[in-house]
Amino acid sequence: MPEHSDDNDAKGAEPLPASPAGVQSLELGLALFDLLATQGKPCGLSELARQAGMHRAKAYRYLASLVRRGWVHQSASSGLYELGPAVRALALAWLARQDWIELASAEALELAQQLGNTCLVAAQTQAGVTAIRVCQPRQGVSVGVAQGALFDLRSSATGRVFATWATPPSDALPAALRDQIRSCGLATVEGEHAPGINALGAPVFDAQGRLLMALTLVGPAAALQADPQGAPAQALRQACARISGAMGWHESRR
């Protein structure tokens, strides 16, 4: 792409090259970061350096800079490296620009007001299954879920949605439980993620039938029925079906 001058460029300045060479040190640091991002788990310095084909001391310097900027986190106890909080912030910023987020947020807000429970939108980011929008009811009982919160694949309804419908499914859940969740069209938990709190999560699919995100209702057990056939579950499934339909997916194509 040609470089266009702006108002701050000096008139008659030497034109910039059409294919700039770039900054090698930056590219090396980003290559190391990309390696860490694809690990899917915390990783040690020696292993990262080996995979990058980089001297251990050199990799350490790059990682130190990434840690200082928040892109990488190093565990104080194990010394292992993993993605840092800046990755989550970047993922949330990117996701917020996508049209389907606005569509899902509108449905989540409608559910929150209709049922009087907290409703959230979650998506898979490099940091994990993440709450990208949280809608609280004007009336009813709200549950404090922070935007950016991460969900466990085993104990949370949101995580179970991703463990069940991801491609391939996660072995974090037993196959029998995944089959049960699929047959219901949603995942439920009753006090497993937080005592006294129920949650129901359902999937949203893209035009190819791939899991795109989840909508989850969260509320006190006294205010949110966790029955897969109850009114909240039916309303949640219907909302997710509307979003999936808007994305070009219809259940009849399964």
Q: How many domains does the chain have?
A: 2
pLDDT at 10: 46
- Does 167 reside within a domain? yes
Domain end point (choices 64, 83, 102): 83
**Do 174 and 226 fall into the same domain?**
yes
Are 105 and 211 contained in the same domain? yes
Whether residue 187 contacts residue 233, with contact meaning beta carbons closer than 8 Å, is answered with no
Q: What is the pLDDT of residues 135-148, one digit of tens each?
A: 998 877 778 888 88
Residues 211 and 106 in one domain: yes
CATH of the domain at 34: 1.10.10.10
* 203 in Cβ contact with 165 (< 8 Å): yes
Q: Is residue 14 part of a domain?
A: no
Q: Tens digit of pLDDT for each residue in 235-244?
A: 999 999 999 9
Domain co-membership, 130 together with 200:
yes
**Number of Cβ within a 10 Å radius of residue 77:** 5
Residue 9 in this model has a pLDDT that exceeds 70: no
Helices and strands of the chain, counted as H and E runs: 8, 7
- E strands along the chain, which residues? 72-74, 81-83, 118-125, 128-135, 187-190, 197-205, 211-220
> What pTM does this model have?
0.64
Choose one of 59, 83, 107: the last residue of a domain: 83
Q: 151 near 134, Cβ under 8 Å?
A: no
Q: Is residue 5 part of a domain?
A: no
Same domain? For 165 and 195 the reply is yes
Which residue in 118, 214, 227 sits closest to 160, CA to CA? 214
Q: Span 157-166, mean pLDDT?
A: 95
Domain boundary among 83, 100, 124: 83
Helix (H) or strand (E) holding 17: none
More confident residue, 145 or 33: 33
Could you give the count of Cα atoms lying within 13 Å of 21 in the half-sphere of its Cβ? Answer: 3
What is the span of the domain harbouring residue 159? Answer: 90-253
CATH number at residue 230: 3.30.450.40
Q: Identify whether 3 is part of a domain.
A: no
Statement to judge: residues 75 and 108 lie in one domain:
no
Q: How confident is the model at residue 3 (pLDDT cuts 50, 70, 90)?
A: very low
Quote the pLDDT of residue 29: 87
